[in-house]
């Protein structure tokens, strides 16, 4: 069954989504990279409430498939790798929720659709910062068109910095 970007829709995170998000955050494939489910849910809830993040449940063919958010990395002192990014460069975070949907090309599909929205709203460049050990995510981001532009190493590990420019997005 072929799926394309038109099959992806986004619904702003609402209170009713929190139990589903907690269940997804508790799945081993998400928890490994996102951390404690309760703490992460609190960050998502608070970030969406304050506007620090623009968080969405993404649906594929009408079914909830995961979470995606945009944020502005240059606003965070705790992200020293982002200090040279322009304030109009959004960062993106994503996870596929249901384990049975992993490895099926859902993340690249959702990322491309979400990137299209960000570019339509004026972004010229989008960044994403996976843990360098998260090879599944790096492959998915690469399939979506993101390319490495650097890395950051600190006490928490090694982060691969990847970008997608509007020019490259429009080329594909």
What digits encode the pLDDT tens for the residues 19-42? 999 999 999 999 999 999 999 999
Instruction: Kindly state the tokens that stand for 140.
Output: 């998915």
Closest CA to 65 of 122, 27, 36: 27
Tell whether the model's pLDDT for residue 2 goes beyond 60.
no
More confident position, 55 or 78: 55
149 vs 70: CA distance, rounded Å: 19
The stretch 40-65 carries a mean pLDDT of 96
State the total domains in the chain. Answer: 1
Tell whether the model's pLDDT for residue 3 goes beyond 70.
no
The stretch 140-156 carries a mean pLDDT of 92
The whole domain housing 132 covers: 5-171
Closest CA to 17 of 53, 50, 66: 66
Q: Which CATH number covers residue 34?
A: 3.40.630.30
Instruction: Kindly state the tokens that stand for 115.
Output: 């990137």
Instruction: Kindly state the tokens that stand for 12.
Output: 């702003």
Write down the number of H helices and E strands in the chain: 6, 7
- Contact of 169 with 145, CB cutoff 8 Å: yes
CA distances from 124 to 35, 111, 116, 170 (A): 30, 15, 11, 11
57 vs 60: CA distance, rounded Å: 10
The stretch 150-162 carries a mean pLDDT of 89
Which pLDDT score is estimated for 81?
85
pLDDT category of residue 1 using cuts at 50, 70 and 90? very low
Which pLDDT score is estimated for 171?
84
């Amino acid at each position: 069954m072929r799926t394309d970007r038109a099959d992806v829709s986004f619904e702003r995170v609402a209170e009713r989504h929190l139990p589903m998000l907690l269940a997804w955050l508790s799945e081993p494939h998400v928890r490994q990279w996102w951390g404690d489910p309760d703490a992460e849910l609190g960050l998502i809830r608070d970030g969406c409430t304050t506007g620090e993040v623009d968080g969405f449940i993404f649906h594929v063919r009408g079914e909830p498939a995961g979470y995606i958010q945009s944020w502005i990395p240059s606003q965070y002192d705790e992200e020293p790798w982002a200090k040279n990014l322009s304030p109009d460069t959004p960062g993106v975070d994503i996870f596929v929720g249901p384990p049975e949907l992993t490895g099926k090309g859902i993340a690249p599909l959702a990322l491309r659709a979400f990137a299209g929205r960000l570019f339509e709203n004026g972004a010229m460049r989008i960044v994403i910062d996976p843990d360098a050990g998260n090879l599944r995510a790096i492959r998915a981001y690469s399939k979506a068109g993101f390319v490495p532009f650097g890395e950051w190493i600190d006490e928490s590990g090694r982060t691969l910095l990847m970008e997608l420019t509007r020019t490259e997005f429009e080329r594909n």
